[in-house]
Chains A and B, each alone.
Chain A
Amino acid sequence: MNTSDTIIAPATAPGVGGIAIVRISGADALSALLSYFRPSAASATLESHRLYYGALRDRSGCLVDEVMAVYMAAPHTYTRDDVVEIQCHGSQQVITAILSLYQEHGLRLAEPGEFTYRAFISGRLDLSQAEAVSRLVHAKTDSARKLSLEQVGGALSREIYSLAESLKKSLVLIEAWIDFPEEDLPDEDLISIATTIENAKSKTLTITSSYTCGRVLTEGASILLLGQPNVGKSSLLNALLGEERAIVTEVPGTTRDFLEEGFVIDGIPLRLVDTAGLCKSGDVVESEGVRRAEEKIPSADLLLWVVDSTKKLDDLDLYVYNRCVGVPTFLILTKTDLVAEFGDLSFCNFPIYQISSKTGVGLDGLRRGISSFFVGDQISAPEAVMLTERRHYEVLLFCLDCLRRASELLVDGSTLELLAFEIREALDCLGKISGETSTESLLDDIFSGFCIGK
């Protein structure tokens, strides 16, 4: 990606708003602004980081829009290049007119995320911050936005940093024991090292296990409705969506393929997938649908096994039940406004929700259940760090492997150099998310911490 030319793009979301912002970054930003913008106050030059009111006119002198413009001189800007921001009226026509004016002038329309990329290249953001900003830009829901903001502030970086610090302390000791066998250093105390490694392991585990939750918040989760035909899956879907999406009929097997609908519970973006009823149907189309429904099970984050409470459980229900075992599943008993006949459910360990799509009874409970299944208490705890990036997740899993092997090595002191190897690998992993540990700073810690020199 070329990072030396001057780029332009709307900085605010598409759609009609009162005000929109167009951002320009690069060496030509100021001259581009001054080519078309006249501040109303007669000043010869624009001061950096000051907002000016004025008119934006095209080449022929026609007014494009009345705008507020700010010029920010490098390096105290988002990209560390010269940046100009133009606040214009929020209509799409105005924005398009300004963009084409400047494209004709020679500016290039920025690729998605290019401003952030430049901020990263210029060293203003570290990798995890840059990724979080791109998430922030694309954040679909409020929770995702909050999560991204935390990462920009460095909650993840901070957590990783403190993890790395504790490991580095152990590494400093181990390296000192290796390189200075003749100095009177603290004893080779493997217990303290073991404690550090155990702590680091459980901390890493906590962060990695937040990945599902973090991912759900930013990417959303999918919920698959399963059940034999005509137990009320489509009614449930409609009730949750609050509108008539699925065709509800009395004829079993109306939903032949899938209905997929997006909705939001407590800020979690969810995709609800309604399937054809699972049964050994003679209908070719439907049995194909059934096969594909079963295929969808592994990729779903949550299954809703839907059972008609007015009927006794039969073999078909149990067929569906068997598909659900081993996968996170809620049992949904429908039609609870009618007489219950389902019988004994003690074999089933799934959380059970009794609902009536008709009266709406039980729907709120189900919504709460779904919400807490995905985010538990984590979203409300302000200090909790959640992983949202697959790259971070994988790096931390590798780090965890190193720490596991390290604790296996701790049986005696004969493997200190291997222990150091594992801890270094773990630190390298953490370094991929935030800063790295250099040998020089390791040596600094050794010599400032211990009296060495014979």
Chain B
Amino acid sequence: MKRIKIFSLVIVLLTLNACEDQLDIKNPNQPTPESARTERGIVAFAQGGVYVNGFWSLKYTDGVPGRFWTGAIGYHELMGDVIGIEAANWFMNQVAMPDQVIHDDGEIVLNPASPANQKDLINQVNVNSNQGNNPLFHEWAAMYGMNNACNVTLSLVDDVEFLGNADVKKNTIKAWCYFWKGFAYSRIGSMYVAGIINDEPLTSNGNYVTKEQIIAEAEVNFAKAETLLNGLSAGGEFDDILGALIPSICQVGKGMVLTPAMWIRNINTLRARNILVNTHAADMTPAQWTQILNLTNNGVGANDYTFTLRSNANGDIMSSTTGNIPAKTFGTTAQGGTYKVSERLIQDFKLGDQRLANNFAQGTAWLGNADRGNSFNTRWALRNGGDGLDGVVVMCDRSDGAYELYCVGFYEENELMKAEALINGAGSVDAGLTIIDGIRTLQGAGLAAVSGTGLTQTEAREELRRERRVVLAFRGFAFYDARRWGVLAGGRTGAVVIKKNGVISTNATINYNFFEYWSVPDNELAYNPPAAGSAAVVSEN
């Protein structure tokens, strides 16, 4: 009996030893973090950190709002009343429902949702368990995802062995990281009441600081990037690395490899934007206008390249049919796509503007469900590829690679900021109007020049307002503008609104009453509670 037992035990032990090396199974499907420690690896990682972590990959996604440039940025365009939405995904329709609409006949239509106020809604749904349905989650998570990837890249880059001129290559990658960190902080500080300054890879801290401190941190990073760029020159290894960081599909049109000087001008445009969009227009000081004028004079020029996104057939970075807001707004009728064209965008086109004729078609009014309020009913459809008017800008093109999405600042934006500084600041109103005329010519608007016509400053401001609404439509500026022009808090008069029965008011008043800055999303607070001395993380207005 004993012998048999021992015999069996020996068999068991022998088989155990024979098996042991079989336990060594590595994941064959994905690279390990070690892969980022080579020259090719660190470049691929620095690229993925921006285009994938920043703009594409999040733990919570929903195909209806889509990814960063249609979802997170979609909120900007919805709250800025460039588009409307019927779908309730991520509470998008409710987030964009104004408190009240006063029609021409005096009828007052209140926000029919529950809660009947955007601020109450946001306060109610900003809870961790709402996961991706929390509207506040998306921009925050995307930008901190980008920030973290840049932190990891910066922590690794000095230990990577590069062929050739290692300093140029390292500094190009570092400039890339600081630039995008600056971009990420700019977006956080322009949207949320508070943020976190975090330079550590894969960890965080509970020291929440004010949005002003976040914008200051953006500048810290821009300055680091600028310093590095000043030490770099175009061509050679700089071009090799930047050319590898920018995805090949984006390197067309304005998306070609920048020179260090162009890149610095891009930084200046973003610096000007940070001042402009984070100050109420009424509170702008002459010094701030001068600052914007100086920055934009050294901002993105007509022939400068910038950072763009392009679609391809596989939708690697952006799908041609769903990857940008115009593509999601397109429709053969006013029913549109996920997004609907706002009547308030259309009314901001000047009479005879060829950009309206080329890009929008008027039809029977589309009336959404009455329980969605009626601010988003519309007669207008966004055309795909324009109506063929020669030399007129096309706002939506759903064919592969056609639409150029500007990730950062761009020429028209820079010019309009310059014009605004000239009109409002120490410059001259007419010099500002000349710039507006230039943009209109560039875009084939076919409008008579407004410069030299003796417009008052107030009239010039209105020209500028309308031009920003038109030129920057679908590009993520509408919420910023509505905030700084006091529209979110003070509402808008003279609005075109279609009632639930199809009757059109042309002089309606819309009181939006939206949050101007968002609270920190609870998904952050639940896992990273504010440390003592933190700035307020909940928005008051």
Determine if chain A interacts with chain B: no
Using CB atoms and an 8 Å cutoff, list the residues of chain B in contact with chain A: none
Interface residues of A (CB under 8 A from B): none
